[in-house]
Amino acid sequence: MNLVLFEPAELARPLPRGDRRAVHLLEVLRRRPGDTFDAGCVGGPRGKGTVVAIGPVAVDLAFAWDAAPLPPLPPLALVVGLPRPQTARDILRDATTLGATALHFVRTEKGEPSYATSSLWSSGEWRRHVLAGAEQAFDPRLPEVTHGQPLAAALASAAPGPVALRLALDNYEAEVGLADVVVSSGLGAVLAVGNERGWSAADRATLRAAGFTLVHLGSRVLRTETACVAGLALLRAKLGGFTPLR
């Protein structure tokens, strides 16, 4: 946990001793009254937290936020065919760490319909993995997350108006490598990745109709979560989104 994140409503309340963040502060970071730590407000600023007091049931904290805003992230949306829940957990965390600004988990022709009703989504567990990605990235900003939309509907909402790049990873019909795509720094992109079974012919037609170009990551066949990470990392670097932390 590189950055300890707090919801805005939590900032004025003591932190229960059983909370995982309190355990991290006291047992991992070994903070004591008067010690500081890196803190962030979800969707807001980054700064320093201070341990004011450690009680038997809660920890009192105070916060001082940085005056300078975080540099903006160029828009980078990921559209991915709904994978099995464990794969989705990895994508939620790692795509957030890489600075994706929107994550859309969509229904596709080859997808397993039951994945959309997993407790990962129905219980709200998915947000925990997004928070873990933000904590790792040292950035309190969270991506927009949707799940269960049909592919065509998600493409329309993920790439409205003049988005600079619409790219879809495909092992079979792509003729251009993602590494060879020229990207103008500071503009936005949408990357679409199929689920474990890949895109169907109908899915490819839907992608092309929405203005997407099929691209590949080379001859090696990657797992869905690996393809998401590799594709997002390449695009984030091309978009100019990797900047020094401090």
Looking at the domain assignment, is residue 244 inside a domain?
Answer: no
Q: pLDDT per residue over 4-41, tens digit each?
A: 999 999 999 999 999 999 999 999 999 999 999 999 99
CATH number of 12's domain: 2.40.240.20
Q: Evaluate if pTM is beyond 0.85.
A: yes
Strands (E), the chain: 4-6, 15-16, 36-41, 46-54, 58-65, 76-81, 102-107, 144-150, 165-169, 176-177, 189-193, 213-216
Domain boundaries, position 175: 76-239
| Domain identity same for 105 and 142 | yes
Q: Are the C-beta atoms of residues 61 and 160 closer than 8 Å to each other?
A: no
| Tokens describing residue 164 | 């600079």
Q: Which of 144, 151, 148 is nearest to 166 (CA)?
A: 151
Q: Are strands 15-16 and 58-65 parallel, antiparallel or unpaired?
A: antiparallel
| Domain identity same for 200 and 93 | yes
Please list the residues that pair with 106 across neighbouring strands. 81, 149
Buried/exposed code over 145-168 (b: 16+ C-beta within 10 A; e: otherwise)? bbbbbebeebbeebbeeeeebbbb
How far apart CA 235 and CA 246 sit, in angstroms, is 22
| Domain identity same for 85 and 55 | no
pLDDT of residue 207: 96
Q: How far apart are the first and last CA of the chain?
A: 17
Q: What is the mean pLDDT of residues 176-185?
A: 86
Q: pLDDT per residue over 75-97, tens digit each?
A: 899 999 999 999 999 999 999 99
80 phi and psi angles, rounded to 5 deg: -135, 135
| Domain identity same for 175 and 197 | yes
CA distances from 214 to 55, 169, 185, 194 (A): 57, 6, 21, 11
pLDDT of residue 160: 57
